[in-house]
Structure 1
Amino acid sequence: MSAREAMLARRSWSKLTEAAPSDEELAALVSAAGRVADHASLRPWRLVTLRGDDRVRLGEAIAAATGADEPSPKPLRAPLLVAVVTSVRASEKVPAWEQEAVASGVGHALSLLLDEAGWGVIWRTGGYTRSREVAALHGLGPEEHLLGWLYVGGKPEASDRTGHERGVDPAEVLSALPPAR
């Protein structure tokens, strides 16, 4: 499958089965995803996996962050969550926003690779991604920020998938540089 075909085939799967890639399978995909453009080769990202009871602990941290009385059931929607973390490195050449873009690129590349390998994926976020409670659960350092989680599992029947993502009309987002004044 070409990169273009992978992009055109990509779908978000809001419902997933309990099947999930093994640690070894995930590691091979992470190795490929880590090849995104990375100015100065800082590798300003890392990934944290959550399986089993780790997802319950995340639900408890979300509840603490949002003031809810009960743990959030959201992390139980997939058998594997992969937290995408920006790890900002000290650099005179590469600003923090660019490093966060690299981490985001790794997350997106990994989602494409997981999809190509036959897994269902949806990237989930929320205001609590930047909360103290959720950061502490993930062991984030002072220069790290959580961008969200890739929820990964088996793909259910096609009829259960999220609505078809539509392509982008290039006329709405692609333009030439404005003329000089």
Structure 2
Amino acid sequence: MASALEASLARRSSPKVTDSAPDDAALRTLLEGAARVADHASLRPWRVIALRGAARERLGQALATAAGSEGDAAAKLAAKPLRAPLLVAIVAAVTPGHPKVPEWEQEASAAGVAHVLSLLLDEAGWGVMWRSGPHTRHPLVAEMHGLTPNERLLGWLYVGGVPAGGRVERRTDRLATTRLTTLD
């Protein structure tokens, strides 16, 4: 078993994946680990939605309609969710007006679930890439996912098998650390 640092350093995005994907039981096991993220007041302000098969086609149609696309542009946009056999929609399920946990913190916790889940999927040998886009929070896309008024889509983890040479190398030359100094 790799350490958290080793898993983080090894993780790579996989923009292209094969047609294999984890089944619901495997996904649930990994999600149990991802759900251990920081969660102020134990709100569990997230949920995930697995999209397979025709659900990906419905998402593609919702994206094309949201964009107002027609013809080739609509077909191209509608095909994007078909790039992977499994899309995991990451949803922030916020509690508005919570006395201790502002909405931004609840969204950050949901984003943490997405990130840890992507690490766990990668470590388990799956190709994964977090995708979003200009229509992620469009009302038609929210409706397609069955979101309630207090839910916000953060994007999708595109998941599938890893083809040979299918991972993207990470750049490390842009790492930045800023030190806050004491003001006298």
TM-score, structure 1 normalization: 0.94
How far did residue 161 of structure 1 move? 2.8
Q: Does 1:157 align with 2:164?
A: yes
Partner Cα separation in structure 1 for residue 3 and residue 63 of structure 2: 38
2:80 matched to which residue of 1? Answer: 74
Unpaired segments of 5 or more residues in structure 1? none
Residues 31, 168 of structure 1: alpha-carbon distance in 2 compared, 3 angstrom cutoff: farther
**What letter matches 1:153 in structure 2?**
G
- Letter aligned with residue 163 of structure 2: P
Task: Tell me which amino acid in the other structure corresponds to 2:115.
Answer: H
Partner of 1:101: 108
Alignment of 1:81-92 (within 5 A): 81-90=87-96, 91-92=98-99
Match of 1:9 in 2: 10
Q: C-alpha separation between the residues in 1 aligned to 2:172 and 2:24? A: 33
2:177 is equivalent to residue 179 of structure 1: no
Partner of 2:29: 28
Looking at structure 1, the residues matched to 116 and 173 of structure 2 have their Cα atoms a distance apart, in angstroms, of 19
**Structure 2: how far apart are the matches of 1:89 and 1:34?**
17
Q: 1:56 to 1:97 in 2, by over 3 A?
A: same
Q: Summarize the alignment of residues 17-56 of structure 1 with structure 2, pairs less than 5 Å apart.
A: 17-56=18-57
Deviation at 1:16, TM superposition (A): 0.3
Aligned residue type for 1:42: L
TM-score (norm 2): 0.92
- Aligned to 1:74, the other structure's residue is in SS state helix
Task: Give the count of matched residue pairs.
Answer: 177
How far apart are residue 175 of structure 1 and its match?
Answer: 2.5
| 2-structure distance, mates of 1:58, 1:168 | 36
Write out aligned runs for 1:126-141 (5 A): 126-141=133-148
- Consecutive unaligned residues of structure 2, counting only runs of 5 or more, are none
Q: What CA RMSD, in Å, does the superposition of the two structures yield over aligned residues? A: 1.2
For residues 122-168 of structure 1, the C-alpha deviation after alignment (integer angstroms, 9 at most, x for no partner) is: 0000010110100000011111100000000000002x333x10235
